[in-house]
């Protein structure tokens, strides 16, 4: 290891700390005042970091929010994927319900809340991030259903996965419209998810598919 490497580490650590402080301040402004209140001046006031220094790390406020959004979605996706790996064919409904409940608890615990989700509607730059996340979640469903024995075609399972992901957005909409975070929304998501998945795992459908080949 060279002297340059040793010197670079503290600089990189300070840089990461500053980026984190900027993102945390941005999220705090969003929570306290709403998405529209986010400005670099507001972030600077909340974080104690000069506006000019913020621009050293991010080109604009949208870039800050996009990084927050993308990081939190990646965390949730990793948690969700780990839960899926543990689901087995016997009593898959109960296991899937547990994964969905735990995933909601996890994402709320890391701060993936309504303010960030609302930002995805407000800032167009966040839409590709949301779209990619939906596709990756759908792919997780494809792998799960294949492992559980589904005979549906790949494109059918992927389309089903996209539909299942839209139920997540339905929960956010329900909470936004009711002004609550009532867990009944999650339970309804679970019921609908199981209802939509069941035909894809139907042994009768597989037998019918084999007869038509």
Environment class of residue 41 by beta-carbon count within 10 Å: exposed (0-12), middle (13-18) or buried (19+)? Answer: exposed
What pLDDT is stored for residue 12 in this prediction? 73
pLDDT of residue 205: 57
Looking at the predicted structure, is the pLDDT value of residue 166 above 80?
yes
Percent of the chain with pLDDT over 70: 90
- Note the pLDDT tens digit of each residue in 71-81: 999 999 999 99
Of all residues in the chain, what percent carry a pLDDT higher than 90?
A: 78
What is the pLDDT at residue 209? 52
pLDDT reported for residue 150: 96
pLDDT of residue 94: 97
Its pTM stands at 0.86
Q: Is the pLDDT of residue 213 over 90?
A: no
Q: C-alpha distances in angstroms, 123 versus 38, 65, 184?
A: 12, 9, 29
Are 170 and 189 contacting, i.e. CB atoms less than 8 angstroms apart?
yes
Could you report the per-residue pLDDT of 16-64, keeping only the tens digit for each?
Answer: 899 999 999 999 999 999 888 999 999 999 999 999 999 999 999 999 9
Helices (H), the chain: 3-33, 40-47, 51-57, 61-85, 92-109, 114-122, 127-147, 154-178, 184-197, 203-212
**Residue 4 above 60 pLDDT?**
no
Residue 11, pLDDT score: 55
- Which carries the bigger pLDDT value, residue 123 or residue 1? 123
Q: How confident is the model at residue 6 (pLDDT cuts 50, 70, 90)?
A: very low
Q: Given this model, what pLDDT does residue 202 score?
A: 87
Structure confidence at residue 211 (pLDDT): 42
CB 113 within 8 Å of CB 31: yes
């Amino acid at each position: 290891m060279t002297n340059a490497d040793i010197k670079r580490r503290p600089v990189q650590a300070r840089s990461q700390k500053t980026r984190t402080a900027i993102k945390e301040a941005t999220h705090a402004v969003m929570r306290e005042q709403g998405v529209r209140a986010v400005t670099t001046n507001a972030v600077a006031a909340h974080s104690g970091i000069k506006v000019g220094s913020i621009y050293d790390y991010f080109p604009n406020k949208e870039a800050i929010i996009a990084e927050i959004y993308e990081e939190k979605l990646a965390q949730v996706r990793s948690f969700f994927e780990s839960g899926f790996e543990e689901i087995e064919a016997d009593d898959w409904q109960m296991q899937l319900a547990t994964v969905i409940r735990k995933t909601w608890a996890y994402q709320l615990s890391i701060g993936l809340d309504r303010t960030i989700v609302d930002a995805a509607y407000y800032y167009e730059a966040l839409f590709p991030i949301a779209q990619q996340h939906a596709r990756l979640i759908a792919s997780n469903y494809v792998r799960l259903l294949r492992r559980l024995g589904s005979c549906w075609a790949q494109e059918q399972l992927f389309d089903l996965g996209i539909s299942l992901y839209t139920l997540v957005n339905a929960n956010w909409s329900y909470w936004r419209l009711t002004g609550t975070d009532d867990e009944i929304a999650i339970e309804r998501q679970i019921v609908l998810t199981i209802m939509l998945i069941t035909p894809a795992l139907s042994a009768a459908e597989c037998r019918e598919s084999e007869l038509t080949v």
